[in-house]
Amino acid sequence: MTILDASKGYQKYFEEITKIPHGSAEEKQISDYLVQVAHNHNLKVVQDESNNVIIYKNASLGYEDHPAVVLQAHIDMVNEKNSSSNHNFSKDPLDLYIEDGFLKAHSTTLGADDGAGVAYILSALTDPSLKHPQLIGLFTVNEEATMEGAFNLDMSLINAKRMINIDGEEEDASTTGSAGGMDIVIHHSITYIHAPAKGYALSIKGLLGGHSGGEIHKERGNSNKIIARLLHQCILKGDVQLESLKGGLKINAIPREADATFTSSLPESEVLDIINKTAIQIKKELEFTDEGLTIAIKPCTINKVLDKDVSKKIIDFLYLVPTGLRHKSDHLNGLTTSSENIGIIDLQDEIFEFGLSVRGALDSYVQDLADEIQTLAKVFGFSATTENWYPAWDYMEHSPMRDLMAKVYKETHDGKEIQMYAVHGGLECGIFKEKCPDMDIVAIGPNIYDVHTPDEKLDLKSFDRTYSFLCKYLENL
């Protein structure tokens, strides 16, 4: 049984994509699927060692002398699910449904970021009626984690100086620039003391979360910071010893849930009173951004704990480490220019790890934030390493692609102007520009909401409209 309209190529391809596991670093199946689509339509295709796929389609009649254009999207998705879900992203198809005109997936991310872009490109490549210059469909891997697909791409395979990145999330807007960033991993070895005792299980749930680039300016609650604040309040009055501490699934997603088990030297009544009073304060602070927040604590049996001093260091570091929006632009209205997100905390048998993502419109912002966090880690005696750096995509003053897009959009939308602005999210465009400085790039996409969360949804009418606009734009290139 199909959910979407298979008569529309992009809807058919999107539904097929959702049946194939394609989380970051697990894209081989979908990469092979793209190769098979190309073969089925007698299109030239290259699959590189990273599993990037490049598909070539000749220009349509009358467009042979028009410069080629690259249509680009990434084929990985963020695998997020509700804690109650048994979905296995490595083998299970997404469970799609439509509600109030929106496509969703039960209890998991939908992967419209960037399955929508992948589906658009496949539809354009396989539609014989479309009018267009030579098309180069570029499908990259691991954008959501390391961007290794874009970094490893051999640009000699791309004989074009024009690109349409289809990784946008607003149909009435085109991206003109994006942030750079890197990840920071904090870690330290630990030793447990086996000491069965009465303790407490603390749980944070119900936050909205979201993309740490697209939603960080909304100042939504971060479950990892909330649980640190609650434990910190207990430490102010007595000792706390951790047994477990875990929160978040992706370094670039604002964490929605966190859990801890611990013991305290305080009487049970005082522990519960501290947690409940602090919970009331936090819920009041977040009533307009995260009304679904729940904070629960209950007694439990603890089997092992960390030393008091180590537990205090972990909690204090997590309490102090900065997260959220740091700077906004005075030049570009509403643009976040730097931020941090502590996306993952994980206390394991022999080591704990904290994972943070930092972003900045300037490389200096990124480096300064990274230095700040590394310095704080050093004060606590923790190790900190940086990884997965990616460059910013700077605004291009003169862009014929952007000018033409604005013209075509206005003509096809009853005189309405398309919005042009930079975003705080990281896009592969910065890497492509670094590899090919004179590449003229624009970015578009349909309306997608709550990306990187199990509440992700794709506006199906917008999905249709944006594809129609893409076709008209190609016709004018």
Query: Annotated catalytic sites, by residue?
Result: 76, 143
Q: 89-127: buried (b, 16+ CB within 10 Å) or exposed (e) per residue?
A: beeeebebeeeeebbbbebbbbbbbbbbbbbbbbbbbbb
- The angle formed by the CA atoms of residues 334, 206 and 370, to the nearest 5 degrees, is 50
| Dihedral angle sign, alpha carbons of residues 13, 14, 18, 21 | positive
Residue type, 446: P
In the three-class reduction of DSSP (H, G, I as helix; E, B as strand; rest coil), residue 115 is classed as: helix
C-alpha span between 473 and 471 (Å, rounded): 5
Residue whose tokens read 């449904």 = 97
In this structure, what token pair is assigned to residue 236? 């102010």
Q: Kind of pairing, strands 440-443 and 162-165?
A: parallel
Angle, helix 460-476 to helix 400-412, in steps of 10 degrees: 120
Strands (E), 307-418: 324-328, 336-347, 351-360, 383-390
- Give the other-Cβ count within 10 Å of 320's Cβ: 12
